[in-house]
């Protein structure tokens, strides 16, 4: 009996050592492990555990690496923000479940802060912030000659869509979500398109996504009505892969991530077909999300070399369609605000805010109470926070 107790004690001690060694992120995930496959229906605690870990759990989901280069773009320290602004940041982060805030101005690091036990080295999932990266790859593919024009038909590049409602849709209309093809993006409805498309099984050698999108009916004439559709951004990813012959992670690394000097590798989650989910799910450090904002402010030029056509970002971040959100429009997978500022946005509180007039970038990640932040007003709180920072730096 004594030997049994000693053995049991040693076993328990070994488990305690293993538990300590696996680290806080894994312990948090194990405590909140969810068998629900759709992240849209996780609890807030489960999301907080998972958002920092989605690319590190290969038995749940696979990801492609976005390789960084050897040279890191420095973010020299700028003057600190005022004590009043620091107090506002503290309040904003604690009341809105914010994991990180990085504020750059004139290429300098004005402020960096982390919450929810997240850190500078960690990668947080972007959700639809990835859409703005995907549209940038379209610009790169045009500059490289892989895509002739955004007025080309989508089905000229994604031949699996021939014979569908997408025969009448241009790449421009796909970029602006104005295809007129029916799509329901309701994050609370398990029967909506955004909840169902990733469970589609491919047929006739087509990808599962193409199989799903080909079946969708037309709701409006192409180009007339804006309708938010993650499915269409995912189709943009298929189009870029078909046009370039490269996966999105490789192409993004070659064109932006490595040459611009991102400090850490990023990752891009894969669909069941093994292709990047281009409407979603890049994981990167918050500093590198902010560096992407600097790349945009640099008009897509790296060391004097253009990555996207001249004027690409001016067009991409213009109000090309009005949306259901007051004062906010839609461009090429960007959300322009009508005042020269624009945003990349992802559900549950992910975002990159860019203000060219003040050379300001704010990258932030979080875990809102709902996908679109409407229950407790987090979306409106974030907008107010952006404006507070903008006004503070403009008044200096």
Predicted confidence (pLDDT) per residue in 319-348, tens digit:
999 998 878 999 999 999 999 999 999 999
% of residues, the chain, pLDDT over 90 = 73
Considering only residues 237 and 201, tell me which one the structure prediction assigns the higher pLDDT.
237
| Per-residue pLDDT at 256 exceeds 50 | yes
Q: Residue 33's pLDDT is what?
A: 58
Name the band, by pLDDT with cuts 50, 70 and 90, for residue 37. Answer: low
| Cα 85 to Cα 311: distance, rounded to the nearest angstrom | 34
Q: Residue 31's pLDDT is what?
A: 52
Could you tell me the fold of the domain covering 147-244? Methane Monooxygenase Hydroxylase; Chain G, domain 1 (1.20.58)
% of residues, the chain, pLDDT over 70 = 88
Lowest mean pLDDT among 154-163, 193-202, 289-298: 193-202
The domain spans of the chain are: 147-244
- pTM metric for this prediction: 0.90
Considering only residues 10 and 152, tell me which one the structure prediction assigns the higher pLDDT.
152
Considering only residues 19 and 123, tell me which one the structure prediction assigns the higher pLDDT.
123
| 3-class DSSP string for 44-67 | HHHHHHHCCCHHHCCCCCCEEEEC
Over residues 47-62, mean pLDDT? 83
Lowest mean pLDDT among 27-41, 111-125, 188-202: 27-41
Name the band, by pLDDT with cuts 50, 70 and 90, for residue 58. Answer: low
Q: SS3 of 19, please?
A: helix
Q: Residue 1's pLDDT is what?
A: 40
Q: Residue 56's pLDDT is what?
A: 85
Q: Residue 202's pLDDT is what?
A: 65
Over residues 360-364, mean pLDDT? 98
Q: Tell me the CA end-to-end span of the chain in Å, nearest whole number.
A: 74
Q: Residue 61's pLDDT is what?
A: 80
| Per-residue pLDDT at 375 exceeds 90 | no
Give the residue from 275, 257, 337, 307 showing the smallest Cα distance to 138. 307
Give the residue from 389, 394, 309, 305 showing the smallest Cα distance to 353. 389
Helical segments of 81-216, H only: 83-95, 129-143, 171-175, 193-196, 208-214
| Per-residue pLDDT at 34 exceeds 60 | no
| Per-residue pLDDT at 21 exceeds 50 | no
């Amino acid at each position: 009996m004594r030997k049994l107790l000693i053995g049991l004690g040693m076993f328990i001690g070994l488990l305690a050592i293993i538990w300590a060694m696996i680290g806080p992120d894994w312990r948090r995930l194990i405590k909140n492990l969810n068998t629900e496959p759709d992240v849209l229906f996780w609890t807030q605690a489960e999301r907080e555990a998972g958002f920092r870990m989605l690319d590190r759990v290969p038995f749940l989901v696979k990801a492609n690496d976005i390789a960084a280069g050897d040279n890191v773009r420095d973010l020299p320290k700028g003057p600190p923000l005022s004590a009043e602004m620091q107090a506002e940041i503290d309040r904003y982060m604690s009341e809105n479940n914010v994991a990180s805030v990085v504020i750059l101005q004139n290429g300098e690091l004005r402020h960096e802060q982390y919450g929810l036990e997240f850190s500078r080295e960690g990668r947080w999932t972007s959700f639809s912030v990835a859409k703005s990266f995907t549209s940038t790859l379209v610009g790169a593919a045009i500059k490289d000659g892989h895509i002739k024009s955004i007025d080309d038909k989508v089905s000229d590049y994604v031949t699996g869509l021939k014979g569908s409602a997408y025969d009448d849709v241009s790449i421009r209309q796909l970029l602006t979500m104005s295809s007129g093809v029916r799509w329901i993006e309701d994050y609370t409805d398990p029967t909506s398109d955004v909840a169902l498309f990733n469970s589609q099984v491919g047929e006739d050698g087509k990808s599962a996504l193409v199989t799903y999108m080909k079946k969708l009916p037309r709701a409006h004439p192409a180009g007339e009505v804006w309708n938010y559709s993650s499915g269409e951004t995912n189709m943009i990813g298929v189009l870029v892969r078909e046009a370039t012959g490269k996966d999105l992670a490789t192409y993004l690394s070659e064109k932006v991530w490595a040459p611009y000097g991102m400090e850490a590798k990023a990752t891009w989650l894969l669909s069941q077909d093994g292709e990047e989910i281009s409407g979603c799910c890049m994981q990167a450090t918050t500093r590198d999300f902010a560096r992407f904002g600097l790349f945009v402010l640099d008009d897509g030029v790296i060391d004097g070399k253009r990555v996207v056509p001249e004027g690409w970002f001016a067009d991409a971040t213009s109000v090309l369609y009005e949306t259901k959100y007051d004062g906010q429009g839609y461009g090429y997978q960007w959300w322009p605000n009508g005042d020269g500022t624009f945003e990349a946005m992802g559900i549950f509180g992910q975002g990159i805010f860019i203000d060219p007039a003040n050379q300001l970038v704010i990258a932030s990640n979080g875990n809102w109470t709902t996908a679109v932040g409407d229950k407790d007003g987090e979306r409106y709180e974030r907008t107010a926070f952006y404006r507070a920072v903008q006004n503070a730096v403009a008044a200096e």
